[in-house]
Amino acid sequence: MTYTPQLRELMKKVEETRPSRVGVHFPRMSQEERQDVLQKFHPDYIEDGFRELKVGVNKGSRLPNEMADVFESYSPLRDVELDLTADPDYDVDVLIIGGGGAGASAALDAHAAGAKVMIATKLRFGDANTMMAQGGIQAADKENDSPAIHYLDVMGGGRLENVPELARALVMDAPLVIKWLEDMGTMFDKKEDGTMITNHGGGTSRKRMHAARDYTGAEIMRTLRDEVYNQGINVVEFAAAVEVLLDENGRAAGAVLYNLETEEYLIARAKTVIIATGGSGRLHYRGFPTSNHYGATADGLIMGYRAGAKTIYADSIQYHPTGGAYPPQLLGLLVTEKTRGLGATPLNIKGEQFVYHLETRDVESSAIIRECEERGMGVPLPTGITAVWLDSPILELTHGEGTIERQLPAMLRQFQRFGVDIRKEPMLIYPTLHYQNGGLLIDGNGHSAVENLYVAGEAAGGIHGTNRLMGNSLLDIIVFGRRAGRDAAAKSKDMPGPEKLTLEHVKAYHRELEEAGAAGSRVGPILLPHYTHR
């Protein structure tokens, strides 16, 4: 009995219309309708959500306000005295910042190439978006598929705005990545004879979505993590990087780490640095809830940017149409795409469908926002927000009883924990902030515009253009994690360690901020969000 009496009353409408909706297909939008709803309602198109960046190498480029706030901020080291000439606390060949899938992959390949590697990560190793991915990972490893066909899907999905070299690397490495993971003992869904079970995902022209039940990211993350420990690689947890260190020639040379527990700063010197800090959902653009983990605060973007790395498509954000809206404990939680894939449809307060349930993520999200904001047809919630229904019980009618338990066990469990039985009661959903399409620009080896500084994973940009397809992110973090790890290791081999460590670039950035009057009193990276629930 989690739904209030008022909600139960409204739910009756959904039940009333349900029989008349079974087997009926709601029309898809025309291309013009799609453009229209996107332009009017997608947060990426709402101009007052953005502003022009006043400082740094991409001065003048457009960023969401909340990200611009982080970019236009003072370093936490502004008033901190650090002795950069003292013996560093850590001294390695390859310093990897961030212990998610990208960081772990980079570590394994750099280590295999003979480098001395260290991972510094903000929370526990594996407390990361990678752990949360449910759906799957793409790779063209079937006979009717090829990297070229995959490439076309990636480019078309990304509105042809992808950097071709990066998209090429992504799809060509994909089968190698799956093989690497298979050899490492990752438990993919398979048939008796070992054939990987693969399905479609949004925007795929071949069935190439590999999965590990509905815990694909978790299975990949825990396997990678286990292997990193097996290899004896040094992992320092609760050590957030706050600034990249450069040497006297402007090359990356390490990072300043912040021990979250003792609140001390530590110096890590390194020949090469890989930023693998993930996404930025916890910046809550335009107040949106997020599906991201607690530490997704864009730290790597600002650190890299201050050091001179360029951004690309940093204003392109993916909203997932089906985020949990109620009960409040599930706010922002990702309701897997599979729910709609199976045929659950969004409904308004009258229990009527208002959009085809399998439009692309951006269009579906925009239509839901329109239904609530413009048309006033959303369901008002006791928490003060509005949402729409997602009719999950219809699945038990269309696919037979037991479908939800079989096909959506993680969802069933999560809603049950808070008193909603999605087999009998429809879900309440609203778009949730899900993924950062852009990031710091890299080349095919994960190298940024700054010498010896690499970026891999969700922090990197260019691979997916302005729209990433499901299953290509888990792929990219491993492809570019490994590429960055290998290249950094190779580079470190014939390089002496940095002689001098400096933070002059941070001081210069501060001067620029002051000249532009841009920072106010903000400090960034913010490292962790501050929630009060008031």
Partner 1 sequence: MTEEIKMVDIFLMGKRYTVPETLTILDAMEYAGYQLTRGCGCRAGFCGACATVFRMANDYELQVGLACQTKVEDGMYLAQIPFFPGRKASFNLEDIQPSVAHFAQLYPEVYRCLGCSSCNKVCPQDIDVMQYIAYCQRGDFAKAADISFDCVMCGLCVSRCPANIVHYNAALTARRLYSRYIAKPDPFLSERARAIKDGEMDAEIDALVTADNEKLQELYNEREIEK
Ligand X SMILES: Cc1cc2nc3c(=O)[nH]c(=O)nc-3n(C[C@H](O)[C@H](O)[C@H](O)COP(=O)(O)OP(=O)(O)OC[C@H]3O[C@@H](n4cnc5c(N)ncnc54)[C@H](O)[C@@H]3O)c2cc1C
Catalytic residues: 320, 340
Nearer to ligand X, 471 or 485 (CB): 471
Task: Please give the structure tokens belonging to residue 267.
Answer: 């110096």
Q: Which residue among 278, 304, 321, 393 contacts ligand X (CB under 6 A)?
A: 278
- Asked if 327 is part of the footprint of ligand X (rule: CB under 6 A), the reply reads no
Which residue minimizes CB distance to ligand X? 100
CB 500 within 8 Å of CB 247: yes
Distance CA 326, CA 240 (A): 33
Binders of partner 1 among residues 411 to 450 (CB under 8 A) are 413-414, 417-418
Q: Shortest distance, CB of residue 156 to partner 1, whole angstroms?
A: 4
* Total number of residues that touch partner 1 (CB under 8 A): 90
Question: Is residue 155 within the footprint of partner 1 (CB under 8 A)?
Answer: yes
Query: 457: closest CA among 106, 61, 64?
Result: 106
Interface with ligand X by CB under 6 A: which range of 40-48, 63-71, 190-198, 287-295? Answer: 287-295
Which region among 45-53, 304-312, 314-322, 526-534 touches partner 1 (by CB under 8 A)?
526-534
Q: What is the CA 508 to chain-centroid distance, rounded?
A: 30
- What is the four-CA torsion angle of 229, 231, 232, 236, rounded to 10 degrees? -50
Site for ligand X in 120-139 (CB under 6 A): 120-123, 127-130, 132-137
Distance, CA of 374 to CA of 389 (rounded, Å): 17
Could you tell me the smallest distance in angstroms from the CB atom of residue 482 to partner 1?
Answer: 14
529 preceded by a cis bond (ω within 30 of 0): no
By C-beta, is 323 or 327 nearer to ligand X? Answer: 323
Collect all residues with Cβ–Cβ distance below 8 Å to 224 and sequence separation of at least 6.
Answer: 101, 104, 105, 108, 184
Q: Cα 479 from chain centroid? A: 15
Q: Which of 76, 158, 343, 471 binds ligand X (CB under 6 A)?
A: 471
Indicate whether 463 belongs to the interface with partner 1 (CB under 8 A). no
Q: Can you state the percent helix, strand and coil of the chain, rounding each to 5?
A: 35, 20, 45
Token pair for 86: 């003292």
Which residue, among 300, 314, 315, has the nearest Cα to 450 in the 3D structure?
A: 300
Q: Does 525 bind ligand X (CB under 6 A)?
A: yes
* Comparison of 37 and 170: residue with beta carbon closer to ligand X: 170
Residues from 338 through 377 that contact partner 1 (CB under 8 A): none
Beta-carbon neighbour count of residue 392 at 10 Å?
29
Q: Is 198:207 a contact under the CB 8 Å cutoff?
A: yes
Cis peptide bond upstream of 393, omega within 30: no
Q: Locate tokens 């409040």: which residue?
A: 328
Q: Which of residues 242-281 bind partner 1 (CB under 8 A)?
A: 260-261
Name the segment binding partner 1 (CB under 8 A); options: 164-172, 351-359, 423-431, 435-443.
164-172
Among 250, 328, 341, 444, binds partner 1 (CB under 8 A): 328
Q: Please state, in angstroms and rounded to a whole number, the distance separating the CA atoms of residues 451 and 251.
A: 5
- Lookup result for tokens 């109620």: 326
| Residue 469 binding target from ligand X, partner 1, none, CB below 5 to 8 Å by type | none
Tell me if 241 contacts ligand X by CB under 6 A. yes
Cβ proximity to partner 1: between 184 and 508 the closer is: 184
Residues that bind ligand X (CB under 6 A): 97-103, 120-123, 127-130, 132-137, 216-217, 240-241, 276-279, 291-292, 295-296, 299, 334, 435, 457-459, 470-474, 477, 525
